[in-house]
Amino acid sequence: MAGILRGLFGKKSDPSTPASSPTGSPATDRGAASDAPAPAPGASAASPASTGTPAAGLRQFFTEDHRACDDAWARLEELLEGDDDVQEAWDEYERVMLRHLAWEEEVLFPAFEEATGMTGGPTMVMRMEHDQMRAVIQEMADLLAQGDRKGVLARGDTMLMLVQQHNMKEEGMLYPMAEQALGGRWSELSQRLK
């Protein structure tokens, strides 16, 4: 299993330039992402329209929350392309994105690491990619504060590629493994996802 993990999580991810230079990394991601337009081919069985609830299983909950983040971006993007005020949509996008990252970093990943003993593998890569995402979100917030809607949209394209590749790994590998390792603790863990 470790070999599979290394193949999936180890090869990618411009690890030499993590959070410190988020603007550099997407260029290397661009080619791969354009070949894979679907966010998570075959990996997600969840309903795209629904919102995750703790009543769902671990994998379904987090996968549906990915879709909720995608939806929040789609609403924001549509407004950014027009002239209407976007503050509310921005606040919502930022809220659901940062909440998702925190849920994983503060609840899912520590529980996964504890259950499997794998602290330097998939979760480490995922945390690094989260740092990249947070840096891009901060850039977008700064651009928005300057009234640069086109700039926000451009960084949004970068964000979308980061998120698609990241989510594919989580939905295709990490969540199924976590569900297997943590399924019995899900009702307890899900209480902390608020």
Instruction: List residues near Fe ion by CB under 5 A.
Output: 104, 126, 170
Kindly tell me which of 60 and 144 has the beta carbon lying closer to Fe ion.
Answer: 60
Min dist CB 34 to Fe ion, Å, is 22
Kindly tell me which of 143 and 190 has the beta carbon lying closer to Fe ion.
Answer: 190
* Torsion, Cα of 75, 167, 122, 28 (10° steps): -90
Kindly tell me which of 86 and 126 has the beta carbon lying closer to Fe ion.
Answer: 126
Min dist CB 20 to Fe ion, Å, is 19
How many other CB atoms are found less than 10 A from the CB of residue 24? 12
Min dist CB 66 to Fe ion, Å, is 6
How many other CB atoms are found less than 10 A from the CB of residue 39? 19
Min dist CB 82 to Fe ion, Å, is 29
Q: How far apart are CA 116 and CA 182, in angstroms?
A: 9
Kindly tell me which of 104 and 139 has the beta carbon lying closer to Fe ion.
Answer: 104
How many other CB atoms are found less than 10 A from the CB of residue 146? 10
